[in-house]
Structure 1
Amino acid sequence: MLHWSLVFLVVALIAAVFGFTGIAATSAGIARILFGVFLILFLISFVSQVLAGM
């Protein structure tokens, strides 16, 4: 999931450099959503591992 977030971020940066603002905005939005989902899943996994270790 983090990999795809970085891929969309790179696509957004390249599109912004070449002036494709619509594609850049869409790719940046997708990257932001995927990163948020990654963080939520990471925190859930971390908390469950800490609680299982007790």
Structure 2
Amino acid sequence: MKSKTAILKRIMGMLCSFLIFISPLFVYEITCVLFWGEPNCPNAFKQSPQPLRD
């Protein structure tokens, strides 16, 4: 019984690590679809914002 629990915990840990690893890609794609209505974002959205100058 212990070995099944250990295997299950290891698999769940690997799955969670994988989801955390790919989450930025999902956030980027979802943001593009919500703001622009299509999966291809304009180049201005892909660039990092520039700091404001006084």
Q: TM-score, normalised by structure 1?
A: 0.48
When the two structures are superposed, what TM-score results if normalisation uses the length of structure 2?
A: 0.48
* Larger Rg over CA atoms: 2
Q: Which protein has greater RCO, CA pairs closer than 8 Å, 6+ apart? A: 1
Bigger proportion of residues as helix: 1
